[in-house]
Chain A
């Protein structure tokens, strides 16, 4: 049946595109042509090499013993791999303790900050209270003060409160950063006022509105804030260096920097520490990034 109908039609003359057309043809309006694809891939591959090379170099260095570190030409994939650096790092140095400190402080600060900043952001965005606007601008003005300028005063305050050289010294000051409040306020401002009003009429308390209505709806904002805060805490160096002295309270950044003094300069050990320190942050970021992407896509598709 089908063949009959087909044969009854006049044969269509096949269109043969030229080489130029083939190279620059697009499958559809948003698909790149072959040439565009090749060029963009070359560019991207180049950038990836530039970004990944140092990383590979560090990983390679961490798997070599001191004798082979400065071989020329460098061995990109050490064979045989030497795990002594990792062994020393985990058994002879306080690295596990540093890692624990960083993760603990980072997690506590992140959780507290998510709670406090979203609560403050809700107040600034939705509640009427005396002095709301001046207070908000004052807070924003604090963002303009460079961190370096407040380290000494901050230390004096911490010292007066007798919290230097404690976990509190590492946890309390970062909580005061107003960026998160500003961020959460902007997210919460975007929610229609009628939503809270509906909840009020449904018999929900103010805190209930925050918890049951606002928080679930600003999840993308919370994820952003969590990533910013945790990353910030993870790589913070100056304040932990100033605020705590005892070995037990050292965070990873400060700890790793002291490896140089402990062992003269063992680049292999140092590289191993660098690699180990990357693992938790990379894991954290990958985990949240997936949720972050899913959320922002869901948000974009709404309406």
Chain B
């Protein structure tokens, strides 16, 4: 650190958290967005605690970017209330909302140097020149941009531009960072690298972050909590482990996890003192399901990595024919046809099967997920 210590009362460090004296940094109450007849967002309610890293995850067009823009003030919500640091912010201009944003294409000002880009938000807020200079220096040290300050954005690499965009967001000490797919313009290698850098930065700066992505790996590795969105409505809010282990519905079940969860439609029937799902694939599911009545239509879900290969003649094994083996190095993705229904198995043992081979699959007790006719999760009885 080359920065000189300053009087803390006047100019706090960029690392100092902004004062938040309410339980939630951001609170959304029934937020909706309607374009003429199209409902882009419906009834989104969400509380984000100070310092939390929340990821909005969903396929393109699910409304995640719209939600972020509504929080930023770049779009108006047609319904609901947005509270930022306890302040109703629906009618507050973006610049006064005390949030800063990192855009997908960085949105650096091409005609300004790195130094001016980072210092711009402070300059616009009338900070003194030497204070701007000091804080820019501090941010540059934090992001290792010290040598690049006099350069123009076009002279920087993608990763450096990304860091400048982060610097511009950090320097204001906002209540929250809003990030709109900030890594999607980087190549795969750099993306992984920047992902961990971002995460380290978050640990260091400890600022509330709302992060939009369609990449489940990004979401799962970075998030304290994930908000899964689909067609403008929230499907599930939870930690990575919760979302993965207990998906709220079939959409979340298939959207999170790669390869995606195997789903088999069927109906419930009683057998051998327990229940089983009968369909193209018939699987016993035990007895501990609370409200599940025999005869009801359900969808059975099993994660590919929960399945294990066994000899085809083993008792209770599902028998199928290997359709395709995809070797991805560390693991094999094996597609097996069970009576013509494809089922994906993920195994870390190489070469156990060959395409065309007959094989048995065992479903370990307790690894099945069950969804009702509407696709909503059915919980096991505790």
Residue B211 CB within 8 A of the other chain: no
Q: Are A192 and B111 closer than 8 Å at their CB atoms?
A: no
Task: Determine the chain A residues whose CB is within 8 A of the CB of B168 once the complex forms.
Answer: 198, 202
Which A residues from 98 to 122 make CB contacts under 8 A with B?
A: none
Nearest CB in chain B: distance from A161 CB, A: 40
Q: Are A201 and B111 closer than 8 Å at their CB atoms?
A: no
A62 to B302, CA, bound (A): 96
Q: Looking across the interface, which residue of chain A has its beta carbon closest to that of B126?
A: A203
The interface-forming segment of B7-15, B29-37, B94-102 is B94-102
**Contact residue among A197, A201, A208, A217 (Cβ-Cβ distance under 8 Å from B110):** A217
Q: Are B95 and A194 closer than 8 Å at their CB atoms?
A: no
Given A201-B72, A201-B99, CB of A194 within 8 Å of CB of B110: no
Residue A157 CB within 8 A of the other chain: no
The interface-forming segment of B117-125, B253-261, B274-282, B372-380 is B117-125
Q: Looking across the interface, which residue of chain A has its beta carbon closest to that of B171?
A: A202
Task: Determine the chain B residues whose CB is within 8 A of the CB of A192 once the complex forms.
Answer: 105, 107
A195 to B125, CA, bound (A): 18
Which A residues from 188 to 237 make CB contacts under 8 A with B?
A: 192, 194-195, 197-204, 208, 213, 216-217
Residue B83 CB within 8 A of the other chain: no
Task: Determine the chain A residues whose CB is within 8 A of the CB of B94 once the complex forms.
Answer: 197, 200-201
Q: Are B105 and A208 closer than 8 Å at their CB atoms?
A: no
**Contact residue among A194, A202, A213, A303 (Cβ-Cβ distance under 8 Å from B121):** A202
Residue A302 CB within 8 A of the other chain: yes
Nearest CB in chain A: distance from B122 CB, A: 9
Given A202-B120, A203-B96, CB of A197 within 8 Å of CB of B109: no
Given A202-B120, A202-B124, CB of A194 within 8 Å of CB of B105: yes
A93 to B175, CA, bound (A): 72
Task: Determine the chain A residues whose CB is within 8 A of the CB of B103 once the complex forms.
Answer: 194, 197-198
Q: Are A203 and B105 closer than 8 Å at their CB atoms?
A: no
Nearest CB in chain A: distance from B29 CB, A: 22
Number of interface residues of A (CB under 8 A): 17
Q: Are B120 and A194 closer than 8 Å at their CB atoms?
A: no
Contact indicator per residue, chain B 61-105, by CB within 8 Å of chain A (1) or not (0): 000000001001110000000000000000001111101110111
Q: How large is the interface on B (under 10, 10 to 19, 20 to 34, 35 or more residues)?
A: 20 to 34
Task: Determine the chain B residues whose CB is within 8 A of the CB of A198 once the complex forms.
Answer: 101, 103, 107, 109, 168
A136 to B168, CA, bound (A): 36
Task: Determine the chain B residues whose CB is within 8 A of the CB of A202 once the complex forms.
Answer: 95, 100, 120-121, 124, 168
Counting chain B CB atoms within 10 Å of each CB, the highest count among A201, A202, A204, A213 belongs to A201
Q: Are B101 and A203 closer than 8 Å at their CB atoms?
A: no
Q: Are A201 and B100 closer than 8 Å at their CB atoms?
A: yes
Residue B154 CB within 8 A of the other chain: yes
Task: Determine the chain B residues whose CB is within 8 A of the CB of A302 once the complex forms.
Answer: 110, 154
Which A residues from 289 to 303 make CB contacts under 8 A with B?
A: 302-303
A192 to B107, CA, bound (A): 8
Task: Determine the chain A residues whose CB is within 8 A of the CB of B125 once the complex forms.
Answer: 203
A81 to B18, CA, bound (A): 80
Task: Determine the chain A residues whose CB is within 8 A of the CB of B111 once the complex forms.
Answer: 216-217
Q: Are B95 and A204 closer than 8 Å at their CB atoms?
A: yes
Task: Determine the chain A residues whose CB is within 8 A of the CB of B121 once the complex forms.
Answer: 201-203
Q: Looking across the interface, which residue of chain A has its beta carbon closest to that of B123?
A: A202
Task: Determine the chain B residues whose CB is within 8 A of the CB of A201 once the complex forms.
Answer: 72-74, 94-95, 97, 99-101, 121
Q: Looking across the interface, which residue of chain B has its beta carbon closest to that of A203?
A: B95
A115 to B49, CA, bound (A): 47
Given A200-B95, A201-B100, A203-B95, CB of A195 within 8 Å of CB of B124: no
A202 to B96, CA, bound (A): 9
Task: Determine the chain A residues whose CB is within 8 A of the CB of B120 once the complex forms.
Answer: 202
Task: Determine the chain A residues whose CB is within 8 A of the CB of B69 once the complex forms.
Answer: 197
Nearest CB in chain B: distance from A299 CB, A: 10
Task: Determine the chain A residues whose CB is within 8 A of the CB of B110 once the complex forms.
Answer: 217, 302
Nearest CB in chain A: distance from B92 CB, A: 12
Counting chain A CB atoms within 10 Å of each CB, the highest count among B93, B95, B97, B104 belongs to B95
Q: Are B107 and A203 closer than 8 Å at their CB atoms?
A: no
A204 to B168, CA, bound (A): 14
**Contact residue among A200, A208, A217 (Cβ-Cβ distance under 8 Å from B74):** A200
**Contact residue among A194, A204, A216 (Cβ-Cβ distance under 8 Å from B107):** A194
Nearest CB in chain B: distance from A121 CB, A: 18
Task: Determine the chain A residues whose CB is within 8 A of the CB of B109 once the complex forms.
Answer: 195, 198-199, 213
Other A-B pairs, 9, CB within 8 Å; known A194-B107, A201-B97, A302-B110: A195-B107, A200-B93, A201-B72, A201-B94, A201-B99, A201-B100, A201-B101, A202-B100, A202-B120
- Interface positions of A (Cβ within 8 A of B): 192, 194-195, 197-204, 208, 213, 216-217, 302-303
Lowest 6 CB-CB distances: which A-B pairs, in order? A203-B95, A194-B107, A198-B107, A202-B121, A194-B103, A203-B124
Of the A-B pairs whose beta carbons lie under 8 Å apart in the complex, a sample of 14, sorted by A's number, is A194-B107, A195-B107, A198-B107, A200-B94, A201-B97, A201-B100, A201-B101, A201-B121, A202-B124, A203-B95, A204-B124, A213-B109, A217-B111, A302-B154
